[in-house]
C-alpha cells in the first residue's frame, strides 16, 4: 500500500515546497521532531542537487507500509546529465570540502536505505527510505 504526491523542482522555491510536503507526510506518519528534521534535510539536499545540477526534476514522497512497518520514501528523479562518477560523489569529503553541504553521503546517513541509479546523458533516480521505529 502506498500513497503518493510530488513536487516539480524548477526554482529554488520549489525546494521549500518539497520540504513542506515531506514534513507533512512525516508528521502524519508519526515521526518525531528529530526524524522530521532529518527527513526534510535529506529532501532539501536532493531537491537542491536537482535544482543545481539537472536544472529540473521531481521530488516524490510516498508513504510505505510493509510487514507491519510504516515508512517514508523519497524519490528524486531528473533527466539531467547524470553523475559521471557515482563512487566519487558518495565518498566522504568530496562535496563537503567544497562547502556544498551534506551531499549524497549525508542523505544516506540521514535515511535508513539509499539507492542511486544514474545514466550519463539520461538522468538520475535516487530513492531514500526511512522507517518509523
Residues that bind another protein (CB under 8 A): 32-34, 37-38, 40-41, 92-93, 96, 101-102, 105-106, 109-110
Which of residues 49 and 77 has its CB atom nearest to another protein in the complex?
49
Which of residues 40 and 49 has its CB atom nearest to another protein in the complex?
40
Which of residues 36 and 118 has its CB atom nearest to another protein in the complex?
36
What is the nearest approach in angstroms of another protein to the Cβ of residue 31?
Answer: 12
Q: How many other C-beta atoms are found inside a 10 Å radius of the C-beta of residue 47?
A: 25
Three-class SS state of 21 = helix
What is the nearest approach in angstroms of another protein to the Cβ of residue 86?
Answer: 18
What is the nearest approach in angstroms of another protein to the Cβ of residue 133?
Answer: 11
CB hemisphere CA count around 62 (13 angstroms):
13
What is the nearest approach in angstroms of another protein to the Cβ of residue 95?
Answer: 10
Three-class SS state of 123 = strand
What gap in Å lies between CA 128 and CA 106, rounded to an integer?
12
Which of residues 92 and 122 has its CB atom nearest to another protein in the complex?
92
What gap in Å lies between CA 72 and CA 64, rounded to an integer?
6
Q: Which of 42, 74, 39 is nearest to 59 (CA)?
A: 74
Amino acid at each position: 500500500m502506498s500513497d503518493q504526491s510530488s513536487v516539480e523542482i524548477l526554482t529554488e522555491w520549489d525546494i521549500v515546497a518539497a520540504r513542506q510536503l515531506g514534513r507533512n507526510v512525516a508528521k502524519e506518519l508519526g515521526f518525531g521532531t528529530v526524524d522530521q528534521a532529518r527527513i526534510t534535510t535529506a529532501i532539501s539536499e536532493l531537491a537542491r542537487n536537482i535544482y543545481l545540477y539537472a536544472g529540473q526534476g521531481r521530488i516524490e514522497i510516498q508513504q510505505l507500509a510493509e510487514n507491519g512497518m510504516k515508512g517514508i520514501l523519497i524519490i528524486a528523479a531528473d533527466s539531467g546529465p547524470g553523475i559521471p562518477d557515482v563512487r566519487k560523489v558518495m565518498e566522504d569529503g568530496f562535496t563537503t570540502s567544497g562547502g556544498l553541504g551534506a551531499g549524497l553521503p549525508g542523505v544516506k546517513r540521514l535515511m535508513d536505505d539509499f539507492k542511486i541509479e544514474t545514466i550519463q546523458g539520461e538522468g538520475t533516480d535516487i530513492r531514500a527510505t526511512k522507517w518509523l521505529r
